[in-house]
Structure 1
């Protein structure tokens, strides 16, 4: 790999982060904790099944493919420029500061959305767990009380912020325990569900059909795009291992390997859970059926008892620990993106402050917590179904910034596309296909989400709330970007074009 000479060199060496504090295993664990399989599937299985029916496993596979292709692009960009700003830094280098700023905003918007969603899931399972432990079912209803819900959410957010504020060493230690626990319980749950199906005691009693894995069987392209957008959400979070590249051993190579290892591990786990849940629950609109609107927001809460019996409390605890773990590890990504944006002058300089004791972006971490808390409180009041709407809007944001980043890889390495077969695949074909696929899904979902009936059915002025959230947040980014331009024009006047492109095979 040759060196990269630029007019605005984003080496990241001077940010002050704790370099070499995370190894390959630690990075994979943090990546899995950010994806949070137990929490993610609890909120996404219902909406995804509602969109694509029995083709749930197919959508998991289809969602995995663009993630894999995009991850190849991320790996190449990280090898050339290991920088905590990831999407922001890389798209600035490829397309200039304006596109780079909006790419960074897309990442920030996605993480703010998911932080609020994580907190909501954590609150629901916290009170469900209390009800199960005390034998008092009425305690679970406390999650429906807006004041109690928001208050509990703020406590969880503050605790997660405090752990993240203390840096990667503390984060890593917490995640080893929480990730191992949730994976063990999820495998237990899946095996128990399949045993019920085999014994004829499952509620839905569907038997495995190869057609479930056929994405061409989905009824319409709109349903397919909606399903993929939701599927993208369930894989989202692996890129956190790139965000901590400046704190990883072997910053140019380890994060890329960790990203691929994380994605492959997750797709295997998801297919196991998807098949077992679909077989056990079926697609009925009553009881534990996946089309029952009363359980779609929180599928595991409804299935835990019928599948695991007296051990159901462990699944509730797994989802709670999963959402808590992801709530904490997800702070890593926006904090370091804000750090990079402050460091390079795209945001006010205080975002670049590093805590001397923990070598972490303290100001940026606290800022992310405050913004997420305010957003969650607002959404809890406005939306009839806050979790569903934020999940769908999050899928839109992820498709946007992943797609932009993948295309940044294509353009950045444009002079080396055809230097070898491998270079053509990893610098051109893979990121191009992955990026275009995600941007197509972003546009299709954006158009469909304008319908007031899309998502939860909540609307503002006759326009679906999912569209208002997705498009509105992007437009807000434009406003903030223009405001920052008038406050500090130096960043937007910098030339980020490379004078020598690296050759990466």
Structure 2
């Protein structure tokens, strides 16, 4: 919406496409993690290690994943009251379990040495120690993915109690909490396990697919059950809350005729985006099924490709803020800071990361190491999604021209008080 108001319908449409595809892609990954830890949890509850291997059986894994996606879509379909109550429980369990794991790991490491005791060093917090800018770019791209999704309150600001204040405050406070938890967990893992490439070392490629699955029992013993529950609840909570994002974006695009109007349908009973939620769930299920059948590497490469999508649409949105408010940027110190410096720095940096990551991902070694015709799979996935978006945008322009003609959502500046009528 804001990219359209600032730069016009073509840029706005692609910004919406970037958000939708990013959230659809990540839904499948979140469901995959939930399924892995679901069977890990069952294996420990029934004292049967073989159950944990069920997740590698596609005839079991794919149907279970689709069930998880369906449940998440159903909760989202029922509205924010159901979503809120479920999130309170799941997030509380996650935070408690992660803090327990981190504290126990650090205390044990300093008292008993852990697996490969590595004392905490202040140099870890100095980015100048890294040296290689490509590593910094890769880390930033990954961190964008890690923090992304916690801003879900911004996607549904109209449904909060105080639309002008609550979403922004909630997103900011949440990100600060997440920073603390991520840093604490990183310190705990490195201090206890070290970064070696053998055994329980965090640098062991065999451990990196799911470090919690590997370290939980060695660190916590029988209490590892708490971590399995936490990661299962975490991935499902993320799956369920992420379902809100594409549904609301599809709703907005349908409302403004940027997509077929059927996407703007609202459930008469729950007052939520009905068609948009169902389509989001179906798309996530189809994508997961196809990629998992083709290759497990292709599924995990989507995580790296997600960084491209997120940098793309976040960058457009941030720069749109600067351009939209350009006539009032210097009217106050508040505007200079929050409407110029922050969004310009953030948006510009994300767009730079987009191009750097796109260039680096041409190398097949980026991501899982797989390639298509000698080009890295991450690059093919990321650029392929954007090219598909351009094709669909042109098709939509032919079938539903009103949005692209500025009839349903006009390009305006912040100083204009009028807008084209909605249809």
SS in 2 for 1:261: helix
2:206 is paired with a residue of what secondary structure? coil
After TM superposition, the structure 1 = structure 2 runs for residues 82-121 of structure 1, keeping only pairs within 5 Å, are: 89-121=1-33
| Cα distance in 2, alignment partners of residues 499 and 405 from structure 1 | 15
The residue that corresponds to 2:412 in the other structure is 498
CA contact (8 A) 2:325 2:413 kept: no
Matches within 5 A, 1:371-450: 371-386=283-298, 388-450=300-362
Structure 2: how far apart are the matches of 1:311 and 1:386? 34
Looking at structure 1, the residues matched to 268 and 250 of structure 2 have their Cα atoms a distance apart, in angstroms, of 18
In the alignment, the residues of structure 2 paired with residue 134 and residue 227 of structure 1 have an alpha-carbon distance, to the nearest angstrom, of 39
Select 1:282's aligned residue among 170, 190, 194.
194
In the alignment, which residue of structure 2 is the partner of 1:66?
Answer: none
Select 1:321's aligned residue among 218, 233, 255. Answer: 233
**Post-superposition offset of 1:118:** 0.3
In the alignment, the residues of structure 1 paired with residue 199 and residue 386 of structure 2 have an alpha-carbon distance, to the nearest angstrom, of 38
Deviation at 1:457, TM superposition (A): 1.2
Give the alignment's TM-score, normalised by structure 2. 0.96
Q: Does the CA-based 8 Å contact 1:297-1:388 persist in structure 2? A: no
Distance, in Å, in 2 between the alignment partners of 1:294 and 1:248 is 43
Structure 1 residues 439 and 474, CA, compared in 2 at 3 Å: closer, same or farther?
A: same
Give structure 1 stretches of 5+ with no counterpart: 1-88
The size of the alignment, in residue pairs, is 415
- Partners of 1:90 and 1:133 lie apart in 2 by 49
Query: Which residue is 1:363 aligned to?
Result: 275
State the shift of 1:204 in Å: 2.0
Distance 1:258 1:384 in 2: 35
Corresponding residue number in structure 1 for 2:169: 257
> Do residues 296 (structure 1) and 204 (structure 2) align?
no
Contact 1:242 1:259 survives alignment (8 Å): yes
Out of 59, 63, 82, the residue aligned to residue 170 of structure 1 is: 82
Gaps spanning 5+ residues in structure 2: where?
A: 418-423
Alpha-carbon distance in 1 for matches of 2:138, 2:413: 41
Q: Note if 1:331 corresponds to 2:243.
A: yes
Distance 1:386 1:174 in 2: 31
1:73-222 alignment, distance < 5 Å: 89-222=1-134
Match of 1:224 among 125, 136, 151: 136
Q: Relative to structure 2, which stretch is displaced further, 140-149 or 346-355?
A: 140-149
**2:390 aligned with 1:471, yes or no?**
no
Write the distance in 2 (CA, Å) between the matches of 1:422 and 1:329.
32
Change in Cα spacing, 1:207 to 1:412, as seen in structure 2 (3 Å) is same
Residue 350 of structure 2 corresponds to residue 455 of structure 1: no
Question: Residue 267 of structure 2 contacts residue 273 of structure 2 at CA under 8 Å; is this kept in 1?
Answer: yes
Structure 1's consecutive aligned runs of 4 or more residues displaced over 4 angstroms after TM superposition are none
